[in-house]
Amino acid sequence: MSSGLGSEIVSVINKLQDVFTAVGSSASQIDLPQICVLGSQSSGKSSVLENIVGRDFLPRGTGIVTRRPLVLQLINRPATAPQPNGTNPQLNGSDKQANESEWGEFLHLPGEKFYDFNKIRGEIVKDTEAKTGRNAGISPQPINLRIFSPNVLTLTLVDLPGLTKVPVGDQPKDIEKQIKDMLLKYISRPACIILAVTAANTDLANSDGLKLAREVDPEGTRTIGVLTKVDLMDQGTDVVDILAGRVIPLRLGYVPVVNRGQRDIDTSKSISAALEAERSFFELHPSYKGKSQYCGTPFLARKLNMILMTHIRTTLPDIKARISLQLQKYTAELATLGGPMGDASSGNIVLSVITEFTNEFRTVIDGNTNDLSLNELSGGARISFVFHELFNNGVKSLDPFDQVKDGDIRTIMYNSSGQTPSLFVGTQAFEIIVKQQIKRLEEPGVKCCQLVYDELIRILGQLLQKIQAFRRFPALRERFNSVVINFFKTAMTPTMKLVTDLVSMQACYVNTTHPDFLGGHRAMAIVQDRLNANKPPTPVPDAKSGKLAPGQINNNRDLDVDLKKEEPSFFGSFFSSAKKGQPKKAGPVMEAPPAVIRPQSALSERETMETDVIKLLIHSYFNIVKREMIDMVPKAVVLTLVNHSKENLQRELLQELYKPEVLDDLLKESEFVVNRRKEVVGMVSALNKAEEYVEICSIRLDTY
């Protein structure tokens, strides 16, 4: 691959980097190929970068100097013809090496060129402190610096903060974790080439940069090692084994370099002189002179350039696909936000939103939506659950005798017979009790209405979240919510009345001729059979004489010596018998009835029979009513609430919302939507540019 074509390809990636940085896009969405420089604070990262650029421009000092990622884009361009003295005032600054052919540009200062590289250092410090303050805090927001020079190879490097172990001075206590998390965010991307910088005079196994690189690249397929301070190693030692891959092998290998020492920096030794000294060191050193062409900063720059170009060519199809996917996503979102300039006709917007809402409402209730949940019931299915599970089981669980006991039935029988005791089982007692129980069905019926109302409100909330227009127009959303809730509340009045009327209909007329009703004769026969089954067997006469045994005559009352006990009176169970031993008063006794008369003893045989008959009749008829209510209440609710809403909600919304005097207020966009539209417009524009750049790059690669 020619150097010219390679430079063009890297330039395309630089443009993409600038485009996405300018619009604030997260690089992880596209994952552009880049080389990230990784190493500890004392590994010599800054010196390596300055040697590659050939100029002093990075901040120096103690502690964490690089506190924000620095995206360094090196662009090779031919030298500019020298201009007359005084033409460019920046050439007369503190930087003695300033010239017309080399300058830097910051993305956050468009159009401004820095020929004085000392000012580039100052701007890096200034912009860093603007985002992180003067303390030792860090920020993941990158600084984009582009350097144009005839002395560099077109290359893009990302200088990351150096790894540190112990917080110093004002550094946060978790500074190590903060830095590590930031570095992992960059180097975890598959498109990232890791440039792990390690001091050669330390144990390679303890290299912080290599250790972190191995976490995300365990096979070493996208990590290249840089060994600094080779000239400071003990006499007789070298890095030949490391370069040969016999210590920690890396697919992209290692490159040894020699940087300027602190003394060289203090004495202002030029980088050109330092590079000459580096070349002499490797050519004269006995361990490296045979392979000196593969050592030093110039070789490192060429190697990085080739690695980056190859990596870009490999990842370009994926970049193209990701850009296309993101462009589709943001174009669709822009459409939901009304396009780049917003919608023109407010009336059309309201009409379309009303139509969309009511169509979605019907679809959700009928279960015809494409967004059916696999994990839970939704929409109309939840209403069905209210009818056939909650209401059904609630009605079936009602027991007519959980509040009415046998003694209560006996009392009602006596009370309903009035002044004349009944000769047979009275129907009035049955009707009184069964009507009381029917009234109890009103509560579950009303509760069913309320639960269905709650489900409609739930559907309303889901649609307000789902329809995109409500995110744009919060006033329209609030008005929609208010109108629909009021509509449901209005519909609840006839619904509740119909349900309560159903209960009243059942209670006002007891139809004892219902085909499923047990009937008095059958109930009496059933109770009689039960009583006969519990009676002692009838005495059987002797087969020979045809007479009863002595003990069986008069039911063991043959010797009627004692006074015959009287049978209890009709109201006998309401009065307790006189206590034993209590003297009997002479003469007729007739006392006034007590203020409250309640049963005092157990049910007599007749009372038991009559009570059992009434209980059978109540149970039979109450079950009939429960079945009819289980069937009729859901029909009533669907008729007056659910179907009424499906058929009339659109008309209600049109009457309340489609008014010329309120349209402008309803369609006032939120500040979030306005800002979001600007962001999405910028993103769509950036992605369109990116797509153009990638197409140009693909065409050039195809024709190469």
Please give the pLDDT value at position 558.
Answer: 43
* Nearest CA among 704, 702, 701, 703 for reference residue 10: 701
Superfamily of domain covering 2-12+34-79+97-315: P-loop containing nucleotide triphosphate hydrolases (3.40.50.300)
Please give the pLDDT value at position 580.
Answer: 46
Q: Is 177 helix (H, G, I), strand (E, B) or coil?
A: helix
Q: Is the per-residue pLDDT at 643 higher than 90?
A: yes
CA 618 to chain centre: 53
CA–CA separation, 608 and 626 (whole Å): 26
Please, which pLDDT band fits residue 557 given cuts at 50, 70 and 90? Answer: very low
C-alpha neighbours within 13 Å on the C-beta side of residue 203: 2
The helix (run of H) or strand (run of E) holding residue 143 is strand 143-149
Share of the chain above pLDDT 90, in %: 24
CA 188 to chain centre: 25
The arrangement of strands across the sheet holding 192-199 comes to 113-114, 103-106, 143-149, 70-76, 155-159, 34-38, 192-199, 223-228, 254-256
Please give the pLDDT value at position 572.
Answer: 53
Strands 103-106 and 143-149: antiparallel
| Segments in 440-473 forming alpha helices (H) | 442-466, 469-472
Give pLDDT tens digits for 133-183.
776 678 888 898 999 988 888 888 899 888 877 776 667 788 888 888 999
* Nearest CA among 60, 42, 66 for reference residue 207: 42
Is the Cβ–Cβ distance between 506 and 629 less than 8 Å?
A: yes
Distances (CA, A) of 301 to 226, 304, 306: 11, 5, 9
Q: Is the per-residue pLDDT at 257 higher than 90?
A: yes
Please give the pLDDT value at position 203.
Answer: 86
Please, which pLDDT band fits residue 565 given cuts at 50, 70 and 90? Answer: very low
CA–CA separation, 472 and 475 (whole Å): 9
Please, which pLDDT band fits residue 539 given cuts at 50, 70 and 90? Answer: low
Please, which pLDDT band fits residue 21 given cuts at 50, 70 and 90? Answer: low
Is the Cβ–Cβ distance between 41 and 330 less than 8 Å?
A: no
Give pLDDT tens digits for 33-88.
888 999 887 788 888 888 888 888 888 766 567 788 998 888 888 877 666 555 66
Please give the pLDDT value at position 90.
Answer: 65
Please give the pLDDT value at position 538.
Answer: 58
CA–CA separation, 451 and 453 (whole Å): 5
- Least confident piece of the model among 63-77, 101-115, 185-199, 471-485: 63-77
CA–CA separation, 701 and 555 (whole Å): 122
Q: Is the per-residue pLDDT at 581 higher than 80?
A: no
CATH number of the 346-532+605-669 domain: 1.20.120.1240
Give pLDDT tens digits for 358-407.
999 999 998 877 766 667 787 888 999 999 999 999 999 888 877 777 66
Please give the pLDDT value at position 295.
Answer: 94
Is the Cβ–Cβ distance between 609 and 421 less than 8 Å?
A: no
For the chain, residues classed under CATH 1.20.120.1240 are: 346-532+605-669
For the chain, residues classed under CATH 3.40.50.300 are: 2-12+34-79+97-315
The residue that leads in pLDDT, 359 or 605, is 359
| Segments in 197-296 forming alpha helices (H) | 208-216, 240-243, 262-266, 271-284
**Sign of torsion over alpha carbons 21, 26, 30, 34:** positive
The residue that leads in pLDDT, 519 or 231, is 231
Please give the pLDDT value at position 583.
Answer: 56
Q: Is 157 helix (H, G, I), strand (E, B) or coil?
A: strand
Which residue bears the tokens 């996917």?
Answer: 325
DSSP string, 559-600: S--SPPPPPP-TTGGGSPPPPTTPPPPSS---PPPPSS----
The helix (run of H) or strand (run of E) holding residue 690 is helix 671-703
Is the Cβ–Cβ distance between 625 and 438 less than 8 Å?
A: yes
**194 DSSP 8-state letter:** E
**289 DSSP 8-state letter:** G
